[in-house]
């Protein structure tokens, strides 16, 4: 490609717009592409049987030779979770802060990809150069340690990406966001800002992580027996505060849940946790201690069916049995869609006699995302020429655009984009210039992208009213029925109580088949369609249900 003064900067979101999750943004200038984040999303309710969703990276594969690196803002799954899938197709170096890469390393090791991957640790305020793009990492606060915003210095100006952030003047670990650098960038001039929209609908400020520590302190002071705290595994600062309270009140800490154990190991090895000697004990050891000397930190704060807390609540945990007197703290709020799962766990814990403390009853959680006033502060410091709201559904992007307008920005300079939208910039102009392929790739077991709309539609149909399989063996020569019809149903009715119905259905198919024979209809597809139609209307009339009907004809 021939580079001229007219070369334009392209920003292309491939994920994270009009959705929560699977964040990924392409920054392209001439022959250089860098990719910000590489996240996964969790499936919607309609994506039956799907494990997770990753971005469609067709555009990156088509421009493979240009892609210099993936740069990560922080170590949450919605920012790093697609790496094992993406790196298999596009093996480029991955840049991030220490903890972020510690978590990535673990993930790649699990997937057998570590040996072939190149991970490069970057410190806050460090800048890495990729051709004509220079990426600077800048400290922020978030619900995971070592989160960063990015300033991408390009020949046409600075692109600022907030990453996920909040403003916390009293962060655990002590280092506040780098307001000075934000201010300096703003003063020097920022071409375009992309900013987290997650909490844009919430007025005011998100409380400091420290306030949760005060609540823990209160709970720990009063608890007379065992304490069990469930939280997000990646929230190292939360874990630190639990450990601090445990130490203060003379309790040992035991960890339960695979992801919790993994993250704590990684964070501890890298020095992101300060755990007093002898505080950590394994569950077997904890089980030998008096209850009032024990704290268990566990996964399951979203009521996830296979998580440690859910197993404790349903008496399926091998090592921990909930007993009256236990205090269980669910230190999280519900991610939309998980309300009922969490509620079920709370009910079960109460029934077992535990004291359960959750967000409706006490301040046991704060968000990791900025509310309106914090977002305003960032806009004001960065004062970008152009603005692209990111990380949110359309409602959030729209509200964020409104907030930017309220702060005085010209609506023409704000781009509410979609995944795949190409936004082009020069030094003093910005415009939507087209679209590239973007979308959701569904992961189901080992299959990546092999489950599409037809398969999902069938799963949905099967889930609602089950199915009937009709099998009949027909003579090739005579066209007459040799065996069957047999009817087998699953998920439709309770068969033992519906024998008459099934018998009637069978007779109906028989009649249809002899009608076909009489009318000399021998085309399989016609026979199948007739069986389907007669059965379908018969069953709907009798049951007001629409099972999937699968006619199978064997010919001999």
When asked if residue 482 is in the footprint of a second copy (CB under 8 A), the reply is: yes
Q: Is 439 annotated as a binding residue?
A: no
Active site residue 196: yes
| Residue 276 vs 445, nearer CB to a second copy | 445
| Residue 113 vs 467, nearer CB to a second copy | 467
User: Looking at residue 551, what DSSP letter applies?
Assistant: E
Cα distance between residue 363 and residue 357, in whole Å: 9
User: Looking at residue 207, what DSSP letter applies?
Assistant: P
Give 11's strand partners.
Answer: 27, 423
| Residue 130 vs 492, nearer CB to a second copy | 492
Q: Is 235 annotated as a binding residue?
A: yes
Q: Is 486 annotated as a binding residue?
A: no
When asked if residue 393 is in the footprint of a second copy (CB under 8 A), the reply is: yes
**Helices (DSSP H) in 36-161: which residue ranges?**
58-62, 77-80, 83-89, 98-110
Tokens found for residue 146: 């070592």
Active site residue 461: no
| Catalytic-role residue among 37, 178, 196, 244 | 196
State which of residues 175, 269, 410, 486 lies at the interface with a second copy (CB under 8 A): 486
At residue 263, what are phi and psi to the nearest 5 degrees?
-65, -40
When asked if residue 473 is in the footprint of a second copy (CB under 8 A), the reply is: yes
| Catalytic-role residue among 369, 379, 396, 400 | 369
Residues 174-213 touching a second copy, rule: CB under 8 A, are 201-202
When asked if residue 347 is in the footprint of a second copy (CB under 8 A), the reply is: yes
Question: 185: how many CB neighbours lie within 10 A of its CB?
Answer: 23
Q: Is 49 annotated as a binding residue?
A: yes
What lies within 8 Å, CB to CB, of 211 at 6+ separation is: 363, 366
Q: Is 74 annotated as a binding residue?
A: yes
Cα 364 to chain centroid distance, Å, stands at 22
Integer angstrom CA distances of residue 436 from 27, 183, 222, 470 = 13, 34, 58, 45
State which of residues 459, 510, 528, 532 lies at the interface with a second copy (CB under 8 A): 459
Cα distance between residue 501 and residue 545, in whole Å: 13
Question: 445: how many CB neighbours lie within 10 A of its CB?
Answer: 10
Q: Listing from the earlier edge strand, what are the strands of the sheet with 67-71?
A: 119-121, 94-96, 67-71, 32-36, 24-29, 9-15, 421-425, 430-435
Among the listed ranges 60-68, 277-285, 485-493, 519-527, the one in contact with a second copy (CB under 8 A) is 485-493
Query: Binding pattern to a second copy, positions 130-169, x when CB under 8 A?
Result: ----------------------------------------
When asked if residue 323 is in the footprint of a second copy (CB under 8 A), the reply is: no
Which sign does the torsion angle of CA 230, 234, 240, 241 carry? Answer: negative
Cα distance between residue 349 and residue 362, in whole Å: 17
Task: Report in angstroms how near the CB of residue 107 gets to a second copy at its nearest.
Answer: 18
| Residue 382 vs 487, nearer CB to a second copy | 487
Query: Binding pattern to a second copy, positions 394-423, x when CB under 8 A?
Result: xx--xx------------------------
Among the listed ranges 75-83, 181-189, 336-344, 506-514, the one in contact with a second copy (CB under 8 A) is 336-344
Cα 143 to chain centroid distance, Å, stands at 15
Q: Is 365 annotated as a binding residue?
A: yes
Q: Which residue has the tokens 């050891």?
A: 285
Which stretches of the chain bind a second copy, using CB under 8 A?
A: 18, 44-45, 48-49, 201-202, 336-337, 339-340, 343, 346-347, 350-351, 356, 360-361, 393-395, 398-399, 444-447, 450-452, 454-456, 458-467, 469, 471, 473, 482-484, 486, 488, 490-494, 497-498, 542-545, 548, 550, 552, 554-556
Binding-site residue ranges for Ca(2+): 49, 51, 444
Task: State the catalytic residues.
Answer: 196, 369
Binding-site residue ranges for Zn(2+): 74, 76, 78-79, 142, 164, 391
């Amino acid at each position: 490609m021939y580079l001229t003064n007219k070369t334009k900067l392209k920003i292309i979101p491939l994920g994270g717009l009009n959705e929560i999750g699977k964040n990924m943004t392409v920054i392209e200038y001439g022959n250089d592409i860098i990719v910000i984040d590489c996240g996964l999303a969790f499936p919607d309710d309609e994506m039956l049987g799907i494990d997770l969703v990753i971005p469609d990276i067709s555009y990156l594969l088509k421009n493979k030779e240009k892609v210099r690196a993936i740069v990560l803002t922080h170590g949450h799954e919605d920012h790093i979770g697609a790496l094992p899938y993406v790196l298999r197709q596009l093996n480029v170096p991955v840049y991030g802060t220490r903890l972020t890469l510690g978590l990535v390393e673990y993930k790649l090791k699990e997937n057998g990809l570590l040996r072939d991957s190149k991970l490069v640790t970057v410190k806050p305020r460090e800048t890495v150069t990729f051709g004509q793009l220079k990426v600077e990492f800048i400290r922020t606060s978030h619900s995971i340690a070592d989160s960063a915003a990015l300033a991408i210095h390009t020949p046409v100006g600075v692109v600022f990406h907030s990453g996920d952030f909040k403003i916390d003047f009293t962060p655990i670990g002590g280092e506040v966001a780098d307001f000075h650098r934000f201010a300096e960038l703003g003063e020097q001039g920022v071409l375009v800002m992309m900013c987290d929209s997650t909490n844009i609908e919430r007025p005011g400020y998100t409380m400091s992580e420290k306030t949760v520590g005060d609540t823990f302190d209160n709970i720990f002071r009063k608890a007379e027996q065992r304490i069990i705290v469930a939280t997000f595994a990646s929230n190292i600062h939360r874990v630190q505060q639990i450990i601090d309270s445990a130490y203060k009140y003379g309790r040992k800490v035991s960890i339960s849940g695979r992801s919790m154990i993994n993250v704590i190991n990684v964070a501890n090895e890298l020095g992101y946790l300060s755990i007093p000697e002898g505080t950590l004990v394994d569950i077997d050891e904890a089980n030998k201690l008096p209850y009032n000397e024990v704290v268990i930190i566990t996964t399951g704060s979203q009521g996830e069916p296979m998580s440690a807390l859910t197993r404790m609540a349903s008496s399926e945990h091998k090592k921990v049995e909930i007993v009256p007197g236990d205090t269980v703290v669910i230190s999280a709020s519900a991610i939309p869609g998980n309300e009922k799962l969490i509620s079920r766990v709370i009910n079960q814990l109460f029934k077992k006699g535990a004291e359960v403390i959750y967000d409706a009853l006490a301040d046991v959680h704060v968000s990791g995302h900025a509310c309106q006033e914090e977002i305003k502060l960032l806009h004001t410091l960065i004062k970008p020429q152009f603005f692209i709201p990111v990380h949110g559904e359309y409602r959030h992007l729209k509200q964020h655009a409104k907030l930017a307008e309220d702060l005085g920005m010209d609506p023409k300079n704000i781009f509410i984009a979609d995944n795949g939208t190409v936004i082009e910039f020069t030094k003093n102009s910005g415009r939507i210039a087209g679209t590239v392929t973007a979308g959701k790739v569904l992961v189901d077991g080992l299959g990546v992208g092999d489950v599409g709309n037809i398969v999902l539609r069938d799963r949905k149909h099967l889930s609602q009213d089950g199915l009937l399989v009709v099998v009949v063996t027909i003579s090739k020569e005579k066209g007459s029925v040799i065996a069957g019809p047999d009817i087998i149903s699953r998920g439709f009715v309770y068969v033992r109580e519906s024998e008459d119905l099934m018998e009637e259905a069978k007779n109906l198919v028989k009649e249809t088949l002899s009608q076909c024979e009489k009318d000399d209809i021998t085309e399989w597809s016609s026979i199948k369609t007739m069986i389907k139609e007669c059965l379908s209307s018969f069953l709907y009339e009798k049951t007001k249900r629409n099972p999937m009907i699968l006619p199978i004809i064997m010919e001999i």
